[in-house]
């Protein structure tokens, strides 16, 4: 699937609109950060050499020859035997190499003429100042290509004077659910019918993953209708997804319309939940035919759709972080397929322990609602004993409830 995905051409957006987007070009620092040496305290800029041997018994008295508020610079260098009153963030005057904070000195009345400061200790060169470039050097990589921009990355860009950045565009997605049994959320139940939960689920997961859902529509089990709508959608969207109707039943409209769609194939993926699927990249657009069960939609999205969507946007990291977990109870699996176990996690000592959310029934909704992770039982493993080590895809942390 990933081989069929080519990242969309980047677009340039204001940094205030770039949160969560994939940075498409490395950003180098245009200047030192901080751009100039400045004080980290309110105090007195001094030459450390002037205070060699100073002590409470033998404090040094220095005349205060200037005041430097933040945003201003001293009009002349600091000469030997002098001090300048300086505020946090103000530029260190030439000649000074340290700042002594107000709390450590005795001051004469700052309003009176001939202000003086009495310093009762030596200072280390560099004390209470922030050197130019100490945070980031001019020319250094501030942010690497492919990075998912965090709020802190955006603040860094602001400090570096980068008002706009090239990012991956939001893929346009169209979603269809299929099924004669499906009702609107606000429709009353009738015999044989259930409410459509997957259309909302998939729409929300797509949006959470950076896509714009241009259309989300429910279709009946009518292959001609589904085929026509999918064809139309493929002409306008970057990604088209269907839910259900892709297995071997008598009324599976996605499966039955595939022949007419071109470049889309039925797949049987060695995973549970989520085995029957359809996938293709007709005309450079992506098509995902997801199975209909709620757990299948959730797990196929995590395992396959999400990485593809992230690659489309130019993200370097395609997968969610995984953590090592230990199985609280034995888990039945089968060799030859990857199982995604919806599980909660709990920290015990220095390990995370994963407990399956009840029976892993693909038609159920509550396990996904309760789960913190998808514990991954690899293909070659048939049974997971209690206490066995697994990896888990983190969906959310237990703190979230």
Residue count, binding to ligand AMP (CB under 6 A): 20
Q: Name the DSSP letter for residue 163.
A: -
Instruction: Spell out, one character per residue from 279 to 298, where the chain touches Mg ion: x when CB under 5 A holds, - when not.
Output: -------------x------
Out of 77, 363, 387, 398, name the contact with ligand AMP by CB under 6 A. 363
Out of 115, 148, 162, 196, name the contact with ligand AMP by CB under 6 A. 196
Is residue 59 exposed (0-12), middle (13-18) or buried (19+ Cβ within 10 Å)?
A: middle
Answer yes or no whether residue 93 interacts with Mg ion by CB under 5 A. no
- Sign of the dihedral through C-alpha 60, 61, 66, 68: positive
Instruction: Spell out, one character per residue from 28 to 57, where the chain touches ligand AMP: x when CB under 6 A holds, - when not.
Output: ------------------------------
Answer yes or no whether residue 276 interacts with Mg ion by CB under 5 A. no
List CB contacts of 17: < 8 A, sequence separation 6 or more.
none
Closest approach of ligand AMP to the CB of residue 274, in Å = 11
- The whole-angstrom separation of Cα 15 and Cα 167 is 10
Residue nearest to ligand AMP (CB): 292
Q: State which residue, 40 or 369, has the beta carbon closest to ligand AMP.
A: 369
- The whole-angstrom separation of Cα 306 and Cα 308 is 5
* Alpha carbon distance, N-terminus to C-terminus of the chain: 34
Out of 244, 280, 289, 307, name the contact with Mg ion by CB under 5 A. 244
- The whole-angstrom separation of Cα 102 and Cα 67 is 13
Q: Produce one character per residue of 326-341: b if its CB has 16 or more CB atoms within 10 Å, e if not.
A: bbbeebebeeebbbbb
- The whole-angstrom separation of Cα 316 and Cα 150 is 14
Residue 87: count of CB within 10 angstroms of its CB: 16
Can you say how many angstroms the Cα of residue 363 is from the centroid of all Cα atoms in its chain?
A: 30
Q: Which helix H or strand E contains 11, and what residues bound it? A: strand 11-14
Closest approach of Mg ion to the CB of residue 171, in Å = 26
Closest approach of Mg ion to the CB of residue 28, in Å = 52
Q: State which residue, 177 or 338, has the beta carbon closest to ligand AMP.
A: 177
291, interface contact from Mg ion, ligand AMP, none, CB < 5-8 Å by kind = ligand AMP
Closest approach of ligand AMP to the CB of residue 173, in Å = 16
Q: Produce one character per residue of 15-34: b if its CB has 16 or more CB atoms within 10 Å, e if not.
A: beebeebbbbeebebebbbb
Answer yes or no whether residue 293 interacts with ligand AMP by CB under 6 A. yes
Interacting residues with Mg ion between 133 and 192 (CB under 5 A) = 179
Is residue 103 exposed (0-12), middle (13-18) or buried (19+ Cβ within 10 Å)?
A: exposed
Answer yes or no whether residue 181 interacts with ligand AMP by CB under 6 A. yes
List CB contacts of 208: < 8 A, sequence separation 6 or more.
none
Out of 62, 86, 98, 199, name the contact with ligand AMP by CB under 6 A. 199
293, interface contact from ligand AMP, Mg ion, none, CB < 5-8 Å by kind = ligand AMP
Answer yes or no whether residue 367 interacts with ligand AMP by CB under 6 A. no
Q: State which residue, 247 or 313, has the beta carbon closest to ligand AMP.
A: 247
Select the span of 36-44, 152-160, 242-250, 371-379 touching ligand AMP (CB under 6 A): 242-250
List CB contacts of 232: < 8 A, sequence separation 6 or more.
none
Q: State which residue, 90 or 201, has the beta carbon closest to ligand AMP.
A: 201
Select the span of 52-60, 64-72, 265-273, 290-298 touching ligand AMP (CB under 6 A): 290-298
| Residue numbers at the binding site for ligand AMP (CB under 6 A) | 177, 179, 181-182, 194, 196-199, 243-247, 249, 291-294, 363
């Amino acid at each position: 699937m990933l081989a069929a995905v080519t990242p969309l051409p980047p677009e340039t957006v204001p940094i205030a609109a770039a949160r969560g987007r994939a940075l498409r070009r490395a950003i180098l620092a245009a200047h030192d950060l901080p751009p100039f040496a400045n004080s980290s305290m309110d105090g007195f800029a001094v030459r450390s050499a002037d205070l060699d041997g100073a002590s409470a018994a033998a404090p040094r008295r220095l005349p205060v020859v200037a005041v430097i508020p933040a945003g201003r610079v001293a009009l002349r260098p600091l000469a030997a035997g002098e001090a300048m009153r300086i505020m946090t963030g103000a530029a260190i005057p030439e000649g000074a190499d340290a700042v002594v904070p107000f709390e450590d000195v005795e001051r004469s009345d700052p309003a009176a003429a001939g202000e003086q400061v009495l310093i009762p200790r030596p200072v280390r060169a560099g004390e209470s100042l922030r050197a130019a470039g100490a945070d980031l050097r001019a020319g250094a990589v501030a942010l690497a290509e492919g990075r998912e921009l965090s709020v802190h990355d955006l603040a860094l860009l602001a400090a570096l004077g980068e008002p706009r950045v090239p990012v991956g565009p939001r893929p346009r997605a169209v979603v269809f659910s299929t099924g004669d049994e499906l009702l609107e959320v606000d429709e009353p139940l009738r015999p044989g019918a259930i409410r459509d939960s997957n259309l909302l689920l998939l729409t929300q997961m797509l949006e959470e993953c950076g896509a714009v859902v241009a259309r989300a529509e429910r279709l009946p089990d009518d292959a001609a209708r589904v085929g026509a709508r999918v064809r139309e959608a493929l002409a306008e969207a970057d990604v088209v997804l269907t839910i259900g109707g892709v297995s071997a039943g008598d009324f599976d409209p996605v499966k039955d319309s595939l022949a007419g769609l071109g470049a889309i194939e039925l797949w049987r993926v060695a995973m549970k939940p989520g085995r029957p699927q359809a996938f293709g990249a007709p005309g450079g657009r992506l098509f995902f035919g997801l199975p209909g069960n709620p757990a299948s939609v959730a797990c196929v999205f995590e395992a396959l759709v999400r990485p593809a969507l992230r690659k489309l946007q130019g993200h370097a990291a395609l997968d969610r972080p995984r953590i090592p977990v230990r199985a609280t109870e034995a888990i039945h699996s089968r060799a030859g397929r990857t199982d995604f176990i919806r599980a909660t996690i709990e920290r015990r000592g220095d390990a995370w322990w994963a407990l399956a959310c009840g029976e892993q029934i693909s038609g159920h909704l509550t396990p996904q609602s309760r789960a913190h992770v998808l514990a991954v039982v690899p293909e070659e493993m048939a049974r997971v004993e209690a206490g066995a080590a697994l990896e888990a895809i983190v969906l959310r942390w237990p703190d979230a409830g």
